[in-house]
Amino acid sequence: MVTMPRARANGMELEYDSFGAPTGAPLLLINGLGPQMIGWDDDFCRLLVDRGFRVIRFDNRDVGLSTRPEEPHTLDDMAGDTAGLLDALGIRAAHVVGASMGGFIAQLVALNHPERVLSLTSIMSGSNGPDQVAPTDEARALLVEPAAETREGRIERARIAAAIDRGYNPAGFIRQLQAITAATGRLERLRSLRVPTLVIHGDADILVPVENGRRVAAAIPGARLVEIQGMGHDVPPRVWTQVADEIATLARQAASAC
């Protein structure tokens, strides 16, 4: 892993790092609501490097070591951050992979900045707005559960001490959640996409139920849907190889179509 300086992107300072040779096909990982870039596990990133990618991960605004603007923002703003990061790194276009809220952002990068996207992978994500299938009551309760008051309690909740010590920011989580809540539906806009697209979803997801992934895949012309049995709102180690293989297959298809 090579640690890079912060990049100035869309008025934000974004903390990022990269894996793999600079000559690899650029692949940008966008994380979901709350997690920092280290939520994309090093070993998963290396699996992608083994498949020929230069993998870039970063802290979204309001989490980790990136700028915490304190004022409200939108998912479109965060898509602008992502495109700005590519500018800062001198990358014309990349394979864009987003999970959960990161999938929302990845879709918006493809819609708002289509020339920057070689392929789109939307993982355990949906379309927002009235076409979104809501979380179960159980999942909704988890979203609004108060943060633990002590460091030890937060570690138990998050199961990762490194993220707590690196850049814990509950106010940023709330602002990101507000951005999701305020977002309008994208389903009709997604029908206009002409980028090679992969939609991955677990059939046991209670936070973003699998029907959301099915609707996104049905809306985007030519999109391929991969449903993973028993996967919830997470990308567990047992599926990393499968997910990396699916992303690599999509990238090959995108390259052959050029």
Q: Which residues have a catalytic role annotated?
A: 100, 205, 233
- Backbone CA torsion sign across 187, 99, 122, 203: negative
Q: Record the tokens describing residue 3, joined without a space.
A: 């640690």
Residue 142, CA atoms < 13 Å, CB-side half-sphere = 12
**Sheet bearing 94-99, strands edge to edge:** 2-3, 16-19, 53-58, 25-30, 94-99, 117-123, 197-202, 224-228
CB 49 within 8 A of CB 22: no
Phi, psi of 13 (to 5 degrees): -100, 115
CB 128 within 8 A of CB 119: no
